[in-house]
Amino acid sequence: MSLEQHYTAILGQLGEDVTREGLLDTPKRAAKAMQYLCKGYQQTLEEVTNGALFSSDNSEMVLVKNIELYSLCEHHILPFIGKAHVAYLPNGKVLGLSKVARIVDMYARRLQIQENLTREIAEAVQQVTDAAGVAVVIEAQHMCMMMRGVEKQNSSMVTSVMLGQFRENAATRSEFLGLVK
């Protein structure tokens, strides 16, 4: 059974008339949308970074702030939407700027929980750059908490992962957290 056929069955189970005009192409569109929203499964770290690692004497913090992210929670398949702040301390190599955002997107475009997403991004940046430290903070709003359940419209969740010098050195961690405030 194709993804499109599954969506037809789901709509029918919800009590919809799947033959009505407004729903005729919905299963096809929904299947296509879901494949796009979960395209991270078809990507690898090597593909998204595409060798964009460059020699550099810089050992100061590199920070990419406010990277918007869109993901689906693995518990309800509802969106969570937010922003990621990603920093690393170069150790002879810097990563092309857009590649940091591409790493965020690759992991966000999988069924996720925010806690794991934060760690996956940090570990991927560490793996690619061999940095002296990596820090990631994500702040997101979860539709599974806003649209259903407790229905708290103004809630957001903040997660962080600190690796290497960001974990071991309080001054480095404080500098990062001050910059992302």
User: What are the tokens at 72?
Assistant: 């689906």
User: CA 140 to CA 36: how far, in whole Å?
Assistant: 20
Spell out the domains of the chain, with CATH numbers in brackets: 1-37 (no CATH), 54-178 (3.30.1130.10)
pLDDT of amino acid 153: 86
Cβ–Cβ < 8 Å for 63, 176: yes
Is 74 noted as a catalytic residue in this protein? yes
Is 6 noted as a catalytic residue in this protein? no
Which of 35, 42, 47, 75 is catalytic? The answer is 75
Cα 59 to Cα 6, 89, 117, 131, 154, distances in angstroms: 51, 6, 26, 9, 39
- Across the range 46-63, mean pLDDT stands at 96
The pTM assigned to this predicted structure is 0.95
Query: In percent, how much of the chain has pLDDT > 70?
Result: 100
Residue positions in the annotated binding site for Zn(2+)? 73, 76, 144
- Across the range 175-179, mean pLDDT stands at 97
Which of 85, 112, 114, 165 is catalytic? The answer is 114
Q: Tens digits of per-residue pLDDT, 63-121?
A: 999 999 999 999 999 999 999 999 999 999 999 999 999 999 999 999 999 999 999 99
Give yes or no for residue 180 having a pLDDT over 90. yes
Q: Tens digits of per-residue pLDDT, 108-164?
A: 999 999 999 999 999 999 999 999 999 999 999 999 989 888 988 889 999 999 999
pLDDT of amino acid 20: 96
Which of 85, 120, 142, 165 is catalytic? The answer is 142
Is 85 noted as a catalytic residue in this protein? no
Cα–Cα nearest to 69, from 60, 80, 78, 58: 80
User: What are the tokens at 96?
Assistant: 């092309």
Is 38 noted as a catalytic residue in this protein? no
User: What are the tokens at 135?
Assistant: 């820090």
Which of 76, 123, 141, 175 is catalytic? The answer is 76
pLDDT of amino acid 66: 98
* 85-120 per-residue burial string, b: 16 or more CB within 10 A, e: under 16: bbbbbbbeebbeeebbbbbbbbbbbbebebeebbbb
Q: What is the rounded (10 degree) CA torsion for 170, 141, 146, 5?
A: -130
